[in-house]
Each structure stands twice: as structure tokens, then as C-alpha cells.
């Protein structure tokens, strides 16, 4: 079965988000291991860890936005018919698209200001704007995935169903 370009984009963004989970876990593991065994702190480990967590959050928004796996309250949705459920899904996704688009716009301003102000880490004097830029790219990916979700909810709702796994004995 050939996958569409949209599915490949979605999968790529989800793999990148998963990669950032691994990077953050590795950073925390190494920092704790070195601090507790060798009494050594990695220079700027706090700043780098903090910025990596920010990157992870924005890429996590991208990864969860398309699948709809973020926290939801389905009190009304669960008690209406399929037609109204779809209307609620479209409305909620449009609201999410608006909010994340505004967030992406304001985060770009933060990237620009961080770059212009030459904000650096304390120990190594690394510029911080590249971390903000990677987080912003994650936010852009979230907007892209939410737009794809909105398109599919409106025009191709059958594409929003998870493929059923066929089990053969």
C-alpha cells in the first residue's frame, strides 16, 4: 500500500518529535550520572536542558495535534451522533489551528528578539537563538499537521481512521 505525501510528512514529524524525547532523556541521564558519580557538571547543562525541554514541548504539540491524542473532554461529544461529533471535531480543530498559528507567530518574534539581542548561555556563551528556532520549527510543523487534520476532517474523514490491523491465525 502506497502512502500519500501527507502521511509521510506526518510520520517524519512524529519521528523527529520522538528523537527529541530521546535527546532530552539522554541529556538528563548523562547530567545526573556525571553529577552523582564524578561530581562533575556539564557546562550549561541546565540551560541546554531547559531549552531542549522547550523544543520537546513544541515538537510534542506537533506530534499530538494531528492524531488528536492530546487531553480532551468528550462529555458532549460522546453523547451526540456521528454527524454532530464530526462538527464538534471540525470546530475544535479550527480553534486549535487558530491558537497554534497565533502562538507560532509570537514565538517567531521571540526567536528574532533572542537573535537580535545576542542572548547566550552562561558558561559556554553559546547563542540561544538556534534552540528557539528549532522550537519554532516544531510549532510550524504543528500548524501544518493541524491544517492537514482540518482538511481531512472536512473533506476526507475516512482518512482520519486508524487502519485496522488484520490478525491471521
For the segment 91-150, what is each residue's pLDDT rounded down to a tens digit? 989 999 999 999 999 999 999 999 999 999 999 999 999 999 999 999 999 999 999 989
pLDDT at 127: 97
pTM score, whole prediction: 0.82
Share of the chain above pLDDT 70, in %: 90
pLDDT at 101: 97
In this predicted structure, which of 8-22, 100-114, 151-165 has the lowest mean pLDDT? 151-165
- Domain residue extents for the chain: 5-160
Average pLDDT of the residues in 58-72: 77
Rounded Cα distance between 162 and 159, Å, is: 8
The model's confidence at residue 72, banded by pLDDT at 50, 70 and 90, is low
The model's confidence at residue 63, banded by pLDDT at 50, 70 and 90, is confident
Amino acid at each position: 500500500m502506497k502512502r500519500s505525501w501527507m502521511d509521510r510528512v506526518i510520520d517524519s514529524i512524529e519521528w523527529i518529535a520522538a528523537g527529541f524525547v530521546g535527546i532530552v532523556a539522554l541529556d538528563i541521564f548523562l547530567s545526573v550520572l556525571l553529577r552523582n558519580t564524578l561530581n562533575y557538571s556539564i557546562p550549561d547543562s541546565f540551560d541546554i536542558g531547559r531549552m531542549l525541554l522547550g523544543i520537546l514541548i513544541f515538537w510534542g504539540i506537533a506530534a499530538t495535534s494531528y492524531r488528536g491524542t492530546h487531553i480532551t473532554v468528550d462529555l458532549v461529544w460522546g453523547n451526540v451522533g456521528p454527524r454532530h461529533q464530526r462538527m464538534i471535531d471540525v470546530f475544535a480543530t479550527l480553534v486549535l489551528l487558530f491558537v497554534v498559528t497565533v502562538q507560532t507567530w509570537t514565538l517567531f518574534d521571540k526567536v528574532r528578539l533572542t537573535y537580535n539581542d545576542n542572548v547566550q548561555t552562561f558558561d559556554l556563551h553559546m547563542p540561544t537563538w538556534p534552540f528557539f528556532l528549532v522550537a519554532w520549527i516544531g510549532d510550524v510543523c504543528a500548524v501544518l499537521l493541524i491544517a492537514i487534520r482540518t482538511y481531512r476532517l472536512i473533506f476526507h474523514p475516512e482518512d482520519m481512521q486508524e487502519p485496522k490491523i488484520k490478525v491471521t491465525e
